[in-house]
Structure 1
Amino acid sequence: MSEDDNDCKNALHWACKGGHESMWECVLKQYGKSIRRVKIRLLIDAAFGGKKDLCEFLICIGANASGHIKGNSVLHFAVLGGDMNVVKYLLSQDNIDINCWGEAGMTPLMTSAMHGRRELFDFLVRMGANVSLVDDGGDNILHYASAYDESEIVRYIISEHIVDINSRGENGTTPLMTAAFHGHIAVLDLLVRNGGRTDIVDDNGRNILHWASSGGHLKTVKHILSQRLADINARDNNGETAAMIAKRERKSKVFQFLVSKGCLVK
């Protein structure tokens, strides 16, 4: 299927030009696909799988490059798949929005941040992706990179001053709180070294120790206390300490450790 003629046209181009559905069926069989499947599903499979030639063919025969499945666009799946050539091709189509909304309001740039696609992240920014957008909960690209332990992208976002390091997301959480909740110590330290404020609390009055305890990450809890980043007996708006939250969330190891260090439980 990849052999080209003298005009650099392969079988996909000629099948598309001919306009015969029987030929389309024949071509797709070479990929283990059937034309009877919804074209948008075929296109998403091709985009995720990094098959640029198949993407071109499917769009040529009528697949909607701006279509969505389960809230996510073809571009989201292409970014998730990580193939630069597919992403470039899709963005060359007039009907593709680089800032299109996906599930929960996630943009393709957020997808690249959460999955550590640094090259694609840089490319999307150069192509005009809006770095200030937030998802339905208010989280931005730094929240996403922090949640998924993508230190390189976190470092890049910080160095380029792309978003406020202490920006507020869902329920007033900062990227630092997100990193603490997910137990990403390296990202947490990176944020702190570059101005991430440890004294901030979210809309419920919780600090990074509350969040680390809620996530059940003992190493992160120990690290926060060893670095004196939070008061062990700080209480949230409901009067709960980190130990109380750990007990309620059934994070027994965290609870036992905090109690051993004198954290109040009443």
Structure 2
Amino acid sequence: MDEDALKKLVKLTQDGDLNSVKKHMQTCGLMDASRDKHFGRSGDTLVHYAARHGHVDILKFLIKEVGTDVEVYNNDYKRPLHEAASMGHRACVSYLLQEGAQVDCLKKADWTPLMMACTRRNLHVIRELLEHSADPFLRNKDGWSAFHIACREGDPRVVRYLLEVAPDVWRSESKTRRTPLHTSAMHGREEVVAILLERCDYTPDDKDSCGVTPFVDAVRNGHVSLARLLLEKHQASPTAADILGVQPVHQVAITGQEEALRFLVRELHVDVNQGATGLQFTSLHYAAKEGHVSTIKTLLDLGADLHVRDKKGRTALHMASMGQHAEAARTLLQLGLEDSQDASGTMARQLAKKPDIMQVFNCI
């Protein structure tokens, strides 16, 4: 088998020139050789390439004249329908369904063509699949449905359409108990969140398996206007703790979302010095542990206490030292030098291991 000739055939298929594909096959005698040939590490066939690139005329030629199976799959169990759906090629999707492709075929991790289509926000393809009886309630190995994926991508038209054709599709949780509301809040899809709050019956402060609410997802990713929407339209709690007792004010310190910190403390009057359940870490402890220098300064502007200790007697300076965050330690020392001279400071020095952070203490 002429591998170079086959590679050229792949290139011609991707380029979409049907006449060149036919001529090359005939000249090199590749009609039979190419029918079930899988290429490269992915194991794609020519029909995968044609479907992925949207060349419906080549797709028809390969299926009708070359005789390639419409359900041929690659090494990830992707069918041509997955490829066409994921790239938003409606004509290819329609043709493959017409030729008997299974509308809910599964690729690796149990993704359906409808799920793939929802990653592209292509309403025409999504409509085509659903009109051919695609099941919007199917879930992949992580427990995500097509509706979860649509809410993550954030196209309001797609979300509304899915709710119209399957009104109960929102009643779905992933294997970690995350709802579509969690997903859209985390990704900042404010229009979608507004639709979900208006049309679906989500319980305020639904928690995933880690105890995280949609409000927490919004603020810890910096989506403040979306967090306001959840407060106003869904009565979300600004202090709902996760299973470790970590509250939103702590979460935003971990992720360094300073606008969200100001929102929680100044607008919602959340106590900046409250400790999380367990070790009683404050927001300042968390920011120092992560090495967020700018966040440390913002917290101090908001009234954070440098000298608050956790249950083990550690200050934020200890957290910066444990994390080997030299600039964070330097900032804390500059703002509270007395800590460097007492027992707490000695303990923090002992936690410093890397040369750059040891130098910080040596300069005091």
TM class by smaller structure: 0.7 to 0.9
Aligned to 2:175: 70
SS in 2 for 1:106: coil
1:146 aligns with 2:253: yes
Aligned to 1:216: 324
- CA radius of gyration, larger in: 2
1:246 aligns with 2:349: no
Q: How far apart, CA to CA, are the structure 2 residues paired with 1:152 and 1:223?
A: 20
Q: How far apart, CA to CA, are the structure 1 residues paired with 2:292 and 2:312?
A: 22
Aligned to 1:10: none
Structure 1 residue 114 displacement after superposition: 0.9
User: Aligned residues, how many?
Assistant: 233
Task: Check whether the contact 1:198–1:229 (CA below 8 A) recurs between aligned residues.
Answer: no
1:123 aligns with 2:241: no
Q: 1:189 aligns with which of 294, 297, 303?
A: 297
Q: Which amino acid aligns with 2:147?
A: L
Give the alignment's TM-score, normalised by structure 1: 0.77
Structure 1 residue 46 displacement after superposition: 0.1
Q: 1:229 to 1:80 in 2, by over 3 A?
A: farther
Q: How far apart, CA to CA, are the structure 2 residues paired with 1:174 and 1:119?
A: 25
Q: Which amino acid aligns with 2:171?
A: S
Aligned to 2:146: 42
Q: How far apart, CA to CA, are the structure 2 residues paired with 1:245 and 1:198?
A: 18
Q: How far apart, CA to CA, are the structure 2 residues paired with 1:223 and 1:101?
A: 36
1:159 aligns with 2:262: no
SS in 1 for 2:199: coil
- Any idea what the Cα deviations from partners look like across 1:45-77, whole Å, max 9, x if unmatched? 100000223223333326541321132211111
Q: How far apart, CA to CA, are the structure 2 residues paired with 1:165 and 1:102?
A: 25
Q: Which runs of 5+ in 2 are unaligned?
A: 1-99, 105-112, 118-124
Structure 1 residue 217 displacement after superposition: 1.2
Identity %: 23
Aligned to 2:360: 257
Of Structure 1 and Structure 2, the greater helix share is in 2
Structure 1 residue 160 displacement after superposition: 1.7
- Any idea what the Cα deviations from partners look like across 1:121-174, whole Å, max 9, x if unmatched? 111111211112111111111111111111111111111243211111141000
Q: Which amino acid aligns with 2:151?
A: A
Q: How far apart, CA to CA, are the structure 2 residues paired with 1:117 and 1:102?
A: 19
Q: How far apart, CA to CA, are the structure 1 residues paired with 2:239 and 2:269?
A: 8
1:44-59 matched pairs, under 5 angstroms: 44-59=148-163
Structure 1 residue 225 displacement after superposition: 0.9
